[in-house]
Each structure stands twice: as structure tokens, then as C-alpha cells.
């Protein structure tokens, strides 16, 4: 299959055509939010599945039943994905737990009217690239990444699924009405998961005692979470995702780019990063 056949261009951004269809994008555009919806918003490969574990556990007060019995894509569905309209989200009780990979300016009108709670997660883009490179090798619905340097150029040019990492992060950090948006980084979560869970619970106005926070953080540690068959994609047939090539829950660390990028690639990355972020004031956890 030619590269362009893998993608639909939607609002200037590449989307894998087999997962995001005209019908599913229409469903997203017409989605009616509620003020108490909780949406995790994340550029791909920055910790989406991790958040699909953490947020339901916070909301259940640490009861593992939702994450033990419901697969992640039904538990916290992607609003834009093709299977989502069949989940009858309009019938789910509040608070509904939702996710999306979209940029701020791609959100539907109801989002701006209702202003539901958002947790936006960011990750060092060099690690996002590394994770994405392996994910593209394993997933048959994604473009073959080809040689690493070639894929790096595509990533830095935003010619990958969900477009430019730079545009995505800037769009959500520059969002208006920021009091309904919490920003957190993958690196902060790696550094101190208990603290991150506690802060998220506070933002979600869920009162949790120390013991519950500890229990949730422990369950969501990489080594524990990767055993959860409802979250590790082991139920997905190998023809869609061949985890013998790369597991979905692959390494779960900060800084793996150092094992992956050549010196020249890392230098090129830094040059592009500096240029794209030069007028942007924000102290990221990885800087």
C-alpha cells in the first residue's frame, strides 16, 4: 500500500484511514459534551493507555474492577475512533471518561461551550518519536516507518499521524479557559507517580486517602500495568498489532531516545526543537 493510502487528511492533519473514517469524524464533530465529562488529551505515544488506567482507578476510588474487566478502548474511548459510535456514550452515566488525540483547535463546538475537565499529558518528543518508531513497526494499520532518519524527518515535519507534536503541545498549552485544563508530563508521572495521582485526583475533585493513592500508583506502575490483559493489547489479533516485533507497553521509561537516536539525529532534533519552540515560554520537565 502507498503511504498516502494509509492516511486521511483531516483539518490539515494525517489520520490512519482504517481507524478514523468519515463517519467517525462526523460523530466526533457532533459529539455533545457534558460539563462533568473527564477527557484525557494526549499526542500519540505520550501515555494514553497509562491515563486510561489511572483516571478510571481515581474515579473508582481505587476499586480495580473497571480496569480488570473492561478493555481500555471501551473504558476510556477515543472520541474520534471508528468503533466509538457503537459504545452509546450518550447513555453512559456521568462522569464519562473520554480521550482524544486531537489538537485544541480541532475540538468540536460543544467542547468550547461546555468546558469539560481536561487532563493534558506531554512527553519528551524524542521519546515520543522513539516509541512511535517501534509502534509503527508493530501495527499493520500504520505506515511502515522505513529507515529511522527518514521517519525522524517525517515526525519533525508533522507528516505523521495526528500531525506535528509541536503544534499539538502549543495548541493545548495556549488553550483559553485554562482553569478546566490540567497539564502534566509523562516525566513527572515517571518521577513520582503517587504525587501525580494525588494531583490528578485533586483536580478531578475526587477525595482519596493516602492508602488509595498508594494503591492506584502501585497498580499503574509499568511492571504491574503491563500484566493487565485489558490494557496491554494482548487481546488484539497479531494481524493488527504484532507484539513479537514490539510490545505496546514497550519500555515505559524516560530518556530511551538516548539508546535510539544517533548523535547526528539527536543534534538535528535539537536544532528543529529550538527553532519551533523559540518564541514559546514554558519550562518542560525534560528540559
Which residues form the catalytic set? 101
Find out whether 141 and 240 touch, Cβ atoms under 8 Å.
Answer: yes
3-class DSSP state of 196? helix
Centroid of chain to Cα 191: 18
What letter does residue 44 receive in the DSSP assignment? T
Residue 185 CB, nearest distance to ligand A3P (Å)?
Answer: 12
Residue 86 CB, nearest distance to ligand A3P (Å)?
Answer: 22
Binding mask 241-280 for ligand A3P (x = CB under 6 A): --------xxxx---x------------------------
Q: Report the site for ligand A3P in 77-136 (rule: CB under 6 A).
A: 127, 131, 134
- Give the C-alpha separation, 133 to 137, whole Å: 7
Secondary-structure percent of the chain, ordered helix, strand, coil, rounded to 5: 45, 10, 45
Span from 18-26, 41-49, 209-217, 276-284 in contact with ligand A3P (CB under 6 A): 41-49
Find out whether 171 and 103 touch, Cβ atoms under 8 Å.
Answer: yes
Find out whether 43 and 170 touch, Cβ atoms under 8 Å.
Answer: no
Beta carbon nearer to ligand A3P, 48 or 164:
48
Find out whether 119 and 180 touch, Cβ atoms under 8 Å.
Answer: no
Span from 48-56, 137-145, 199-207, 264-272 in contact with ligand A3P (CB under 6 A): 48-56
Beta carbon nearer to ligand A3P, 109 or 224:
224
Residues that bind ligand A3P (CB under 6 A): 42, 44-50, 127, 131, 134, 220, 222, 225, 249-252, 256
Amino acid at each position: 500500500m502507498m503511504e498516502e493510502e494509509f492516511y486521511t487528511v483531516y483539518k490539515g492533519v494525517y489520520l490512519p484511514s482504517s481507524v478514523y473514517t468519515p463517519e467517525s469524524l462526523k460523530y466526533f464533530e457532533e459529539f455533545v459534551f457534558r460539563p462533568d465529562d473527564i477527557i484525557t488529551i494526549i499526542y500519540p505515544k505520550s501515555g494514553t493507555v497509562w491515563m486510561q488506567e489511572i483516571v478510571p482507578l481515581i474515579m473508582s476510588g481505587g476499586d480495580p474492577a473497571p480496569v480488570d474487566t473492561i478493555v481500555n478502548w471501551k473504558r476510556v474511548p477515543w472520541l474520534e475512533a471508528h468503533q466509538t459510535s457503537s459504545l452509546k456514550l450518550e447513555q453512559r452515566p456521568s462522569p464519562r471518561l473520554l480521550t482524544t488525540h486531537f489538537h485544541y483547535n480541532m475540538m468540536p463546538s460543544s467542547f468550547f461551550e461546555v468546558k469539560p475537565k481536561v487532563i493534558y499529558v506531554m512527553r519528551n518528543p524524542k521519546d515520543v518519536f522513539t516509541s512511535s518508531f517501534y509502534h509503527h513497526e508493530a501495527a499493520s494499520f500504520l505506515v511502515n516507518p522505513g529507515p529511522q532518519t527518514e521517519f525522524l524527518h517525517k515526525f519533525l515535519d508533522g507528516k505523521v499521524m495526528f500531525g506535528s507534536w509541536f503544534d499539538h503541545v502549543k495548541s493545548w498549552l495556549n488553550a483559553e479557559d485554562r482553569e478546566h485544563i490540567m497539564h502534566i508530563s509523562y516525566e513527572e508521572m515517571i518521577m513520582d507517580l503517587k504525587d501525580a495521582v494525588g494531583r490528578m485526583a485533586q483536580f478531578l475533585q475526587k477525595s482519596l486517602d493516602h492508602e488509595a493513592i498508594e494503591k492506584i500508583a502501585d497498580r499503574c506502575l509499568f511492571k504491574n500495568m503491563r500484566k493487565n490483559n485489558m490494557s496491554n493489547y494482548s487481546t488484539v489479533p497479531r494481524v493488527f498489532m504484532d507484539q513479537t516485533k514490539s510490545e505496546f507497553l514497550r519500555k515505559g521509561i524516560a530518556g530511551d531516545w538516548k539508546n535510539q537516536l544517533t548523535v547526528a539525529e539527536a543534534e538535528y532534533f535539537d536544532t528543529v526543537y529550538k527553532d519551533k519552540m523559540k518564541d514559546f515560554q514554558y519550562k518542560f520537565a525534560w528540559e
